[in-house]
Amino acid sequence: MRVVIAGAGSVGRSVARELIDKEHSVLLIDQSKEALGHERIPGAEWLLSDACELAGLAEAGLEEADVVVAATGDDKTNLVLSLLAKTEFGVPRTVSRVNNPKNEWLFDDNWGVDVAVSTPRLMTALVEEAVEVGGLVHLMSFERGQAGLLEFTVHENAELVAERIGGITFPLDTVLVAIIRNSRAFAPSPDDVIEAGDELFFLSSPDQEGALLELLQETTKTAESAETAETEDSVEITEPTGD
């Protein structure tokens, strides 16, 4: 696979090393001589050019790229590059870095972005995934936002506990793709039974995320309500007696 990466900063160079280790062909583009000469990466090609100029992108052979990664520190540059890669060079897939979370809404197919990677968003999702129990955590989006990877940690009092997966009706366009239990990941089968503390990973379309959350939280609330009612029923009320 041929990958063109715009931005030879720490992010771009790290991505380039990983891809080269996996035996992909990588070209790094940057308009700064200091960036290109800062740290040579064995196996990578280098081009001194502006990633927003058509002439420079043509010199990079963008029409032959399988993936273009816009990894500069400037959101405007990343957006323009993604758009040019799609509209002028017909690149099959673009991955664009989001530097400012306020600009994240711009990074969609209108600007030629297939996958937007926001470091603050990823860090937030990972923090929530680590500590959130009973809430639906959005980890990542796929296919230009048409599908998302979601995580739900099962509360010990949830009605889901001891339920057969095959007996649960999940919303349309929603698939339970993996479960992590006791640090071990496995693909669920209809006969697997959900246990407390399970981390459930779903692929779901954005318009079904609300229904999925309602389903998962409804079972938890039902269990909690039953427990509360049972506690109240067990309280013995003693009428006061006169002297």
What residue ranges in 15-133 does DSSP mark as E strands?
25-30, 45-48, 67-70, 93-98, 115-118
Domain termination site, one of 117, 152, 174: 117
What is the arithmetic mean of pLDDT over 34-61? Answer: 84
Which DSSP string do the residues of 72-85 spell out, in sequence order?
A: -S-HHHHHHHHHHH
Proportion of the chain above pLDDT 70, given as a percent = 78
Would residue 125 count as lying in a domain?
A: no
* The pLDDT of residue 115: 85
For 178, the token pair is 């993996």
- Do 13 and 102 belong to one domain? yes
The pLDDT tens digits of the residues spanning 187-214 come to 999 999 999 888 899 989 888 888 888 8
- Do 113 and 7 belong to one domain? yes
Would residue 239 count as lying in a domain?
A: no
Question: Per the structure, how many domains does the chain have?
Answer: 2
Q: How high does pLDDT run on average in the chain?
A: 82
Q: Which residue has the higher pLDDT, 224 or 196?
A: 196
Q: Which residue has the higher pLDDT, 190 or 243?
A: 190
Q: Is residue 235 pLDDT above 70, yes or no?
A: no
Domain termination site, one of 117, 142, 164: 117
- Do 11 and 104 belong to one domain? yes
* The pLDDT of residue 4: 96
Is this model's pTM higher than 0.95 or not? no
The pLDDT tens digits of the residues spanning 78-115 come to 999 999 999 999 999 999 998 888 898 899 889 999 88
- Do 74 and 143 belong to one domain? no
Domain residues for the domain of 22 are 2-117
Q: Is residue 228 pLDDT above 70, yes or no?
A: no
**Residue 154 DSSP class:** P
Contact 26, 43 (CB under 8 A): yes
- Do 140 and 217 belong to one domain? yes
Would residue 242 count as lying in a domain?
A: no
Most confident range, picked from 66-75, 119-128, 134-143: 66-75
Residues 6+ apart with CB under 8 A from 86: 94, 112
Domain termination site, one of 85, 117, 149: 117
**Residue 155 DSSP class:** P
* The pLDDT of residue 69: 95
